[in-house]
């Protein structure tokens, strides 16, 4: 039927064979086999090409509809093969998901309209356990994440920036690491990966991690730092996002500063949806890297 449609479009056995990526004799034999099966003559053959018979024209109109349905079936099969249909339960950390997932979900919806994402925010270690138990299908979060039955796909490294109120002396020009000694550093509560990373930064630079003012979100850290309560560490994607940003704060330009966190997509090893998760991973990786290439501010 594909060969017959190609002949109808081109009127030439040679051209129909070329666009069908087969030899001319093979195409001719297949069209003849179709005529024999149907018991009717579909084409008037000549040295200059081929012309559809009246019944051939009627059959070609039906053939085009059938081929359209076949393409639809093939697309549906490809979609099912990657698992990009139905509802996926996706976990993410509140220090990442709100500032990265929204535009990615819109991008994924365009690529796979049959896919629905139920997104749940939580603590990474707890969500990794939920993935192991089957309570979540997949999660996006910062490393390290552990689990013998988990497939962990690293996606990108995100800079962690030290920020201060815009009127802080540290916000004007490059500073030496020694200038950070004794500075108060604000963080989230101890359940978050970002707390551990902030604590390590504080220890490395002789800073005082505040025990009295733990933030409940990145926005709360942002506001406390903007008020001059102390310095804090914020992920670059938060600072790049429309819902985060740098209002009231400035990135402290510390000589040699290289703090970062690694982000991964995690799912149960051996799941039948692995192909779907790798497609999602590629979308997240591509978008995050493009976002991180932008200038800050």
Q: What is residue 75's predicted lDDT score, i.e. its pLDDT? A: 55
Domain boundaries, the chain: 2-82, 89-297
Q: What is residue 180's predicted lDDT score, i.e. its pLDDT? A: 95
Q: What is residue 18's predicted lDDT score, i.e. its pLDDT? A: 92
CA distance linking residue 230 with residue 187, whole number of Å: 10
Q: Check pLDDT > 60 for residue 109.
A: yes
Q: Is 132 exposed, middle or buried (0-12, 13-18, 19+ CB in 10 A)?
A: middle
Phi/psi zone of residue 189: left (φ > 0), alpha (ψ -120 to 50 degrees), beta? beta
CA distance linking residue 89 with residue 138, whole number of Å: 7
Q: Say which range, 61-65, 104-108, 176-180, has the weakest mean pLDDT.
A: 104-108
* pLDDT, the chain, mean: 88
- Interacting residues of 287 by C-beta distance below 8 A, sequence separation 6+: 100, 103, 104, 107
Percent of the chain clearing pLDDT 90 (strictly above): 54
pLDDT, tens digit (0-9, with 9 covering 90-100), for 124-139:
999 999 998 888 999 9
CA distance linking residue 1 with residue 244, whole number of Å: 56
Higher pLDDT, 85 or 237: 237
Q: What is the 3-state secondary structure (H, E, C) of the chain?
A: CHHHHHHHHHCCHHHHHHHHCCCHHHHHHHHHHHHHHHCCCCEEEECCEEEECHHHHHHHHHHHHHHHHHHHHHHHHHHHHHCCCEEEEEEECCCCHHHHHHHHHHHHHHHCCCEEEEEEECCHHHHHHHHHHCCCCEEEEECCCCCCCEEEEEEEEEEEEEEEECCCHHHCCCECHHHHCCCEEECECCCCHHHHHHHHHHHHHCCEECCCCCECCHHHHHHHHHCCCCEEEEEHHHHHCCCCCCCCEEECCECCCCCEEEEEEEEECCCCCHHHHHHHHHHHHHHHHHHHCCCCC
Nearest to 289 by CA among 149, 93, 156: 156
CB contact at 8 A, 89 and 53:
no
CATH of domain 2-82: 1.10.10.10
Nearest to 147 by CA among 157, 155, 138, 156: 138
**Terminal C-alpha separation, the chain:** 58
Structurally, at CATH architecture level, domain 89-297 sits in 3-Layer(aba) Sandwich (3.40)
Q: How many CA atoms lie within 13 A of 209 on its CB side?
A: 19
Q: What is residue 184's predicted lDDT score, i.e. its pLDDT? A: 94
Q: How many CA atoms lie within 13 A of 4 on its CB side?
A: 26
pLDDT, tens digit (0-9, with 9 covering 90-100), for 216-249:
889 999 999 999 999 999 999 999 887 788 899 9
CA distance linking residue 280 with residue 150, whole number of Å: 16
Do domains 2-82 and 89-297 share one topology? The answer is no
Q: Check pLDDT > 80 for residue 272.
A: no
pLDDT, tens digit (0-9, with 9 covering 90-100), for 148-192:
889 999 999 999 999 999 999 998 889 999 999 999 999 998 888
């Amino acid at each position: 039927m594909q060969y017959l449609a190609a002949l109808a479009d081109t009127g030439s056995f040679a051209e129909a064979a070329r666009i069908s990526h087969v030899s001319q004799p093979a195409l001719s034999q297949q069209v003849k086999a179709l005529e024999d099966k149907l018991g009717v003559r579909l084409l008037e053959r000549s040295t200059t090409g081929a012309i559809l018979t009246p019944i051939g024209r009627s059959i070609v109109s039906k053939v085009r509809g059938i081929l359209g349905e076949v393409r639809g079936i093939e697309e549906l099969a490809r979609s099912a093969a990657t698992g990009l249909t139905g509802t996926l339960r996706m976990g993410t950390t509140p220090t990442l998901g709100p500032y990265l997932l929204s535009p990615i979900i819109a991008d994924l919806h365009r690529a796979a309209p049959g896919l629905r994402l139920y997104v749940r925010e939580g603590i990474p270690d707890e969500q990794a356990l939920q993935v192991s138990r089957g309570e979540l299908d997949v999660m996006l979060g910062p490393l390290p994440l552990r689990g013998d039955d988990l497939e962990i796909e690293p996606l990108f490294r995100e800079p962690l920036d030290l920020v201060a109120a815009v009127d802080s002396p540290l916000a004007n020009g490059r500073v030496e690491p020694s200038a950070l000694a004794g500075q108060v550093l604000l963080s989230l509560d101890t359940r978050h990966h970002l707390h551990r990373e902030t604590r390590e930064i504080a220890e490395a630079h002789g800073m005082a991690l505040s025990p009295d003012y733990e933030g409940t979100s990145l926005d709360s850290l942002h506001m406390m730092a903007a008020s001059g309560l102390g310095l804090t560490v914020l992920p670059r994607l938060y600072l790049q996002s429309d819902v985060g940003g740098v209002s009231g704060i400035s990135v402290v330009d510390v000589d040699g500063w290289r703090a970062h966190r690694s982000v991964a997509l995690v799912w149960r090893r051996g799941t039948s949806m692995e192909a779907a998760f790798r497609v999602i991973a590629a979308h997240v990786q591509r978008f995050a890297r493009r976002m991180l290439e932008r200038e800050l501010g």
